[in-house]
Amino acid sequence: MNERVEILGVNVDSLTMAESVKFIENLIDSGKPSIVATANAEMLMRATQDEELKDILNAAALVVPDGAGTVWAARHLGCEMPERVAGYDLAQELMKIAPEKSYKIFLFGSAPGVADKAKLKAEELYPGIEIVGTRNGFFSPEDEPEIVEKIKETKPDILFAALGVPKQEKWLAKYKDELNVPVSIGVGGTFDVMAGVMKRAPLWMQRAKLEWLFRAMLQPKRAGRLAALPKFVLKVHSSKKKLEK
């Protein structure tokens, strides 16, 4: 059983990248529909205001610490959290082993054409990968039954959903049992980076835990969302004080 750390009411798994990949392999082997969530500080803050999201995260089979803020929070609360497990990197690790394991993958989300470009990139990077379908993330409620049917027909082992938080988590939770996909993961901007639509922070910025700053520089409209970071720090600090009383 994984050790879980409660951060602002959400249970986050204390696992390395390698352990997370192994855990997901076991989920796929079990065949039962499961959700994997990638929790960064922004998602954890949102969950303090969004009870539905919090419930979905706490019901997920695996919640990885996607972001330096999540790792910092766990350690600040006196708990072990070995490393950051970034959603983008987790998706790449799973795609890397997919050919050998014969995993079938479906890419759902992002703007029209982006998932198709991400598919081509994955096929270039991971020869033999079987991406059984793509679908963009622009749809109305009336389109959802058709999307669900398309995913069901292709019978993927892994469904990557890039719809943004919390839309991707809520959509996956809504259709989890109907889709019957062993592992569904919300992956945010992963397809955009793979397709070359959006750059990822240079490695030195990732190592310096400044990826959030790089995103803010590229997307000034994110500034409002990044204001959640200092609030997150204060909220975690406040929760620690309560625990110490």
Q: How confident is the model at residue 146 (pLDDT cuts 50, 70, 90)?
A: very high
Mean pLDDT, to the nearest integer, of 129-145? 97
pLDDT in tens, 177-200: 999 999 999 999 999 999 988 666
Q: Residue 165's CB: how many other CB atoms inside 10 A?
A: 20
**Looking at residue 55, what is its pLDDT?**
98
Mean pLDDT, to the nearest integer, of 86-93? 96
**Looking at residue 87, what is its pLDDT?**
95
Whole-number Å distance between alpha carbons of 200 and 155: 31
**Looking at residue 207, what is its pLDDT?**
72
Whole-number Å distance between alpha carbons of 159 and 47: 23
**Looking at residue 210, what is its pLDDT?**
59
Q: Is the pTM of this model over 0.85?
A: yes
**Looking at residue 67, what is its pLDDT?**
85
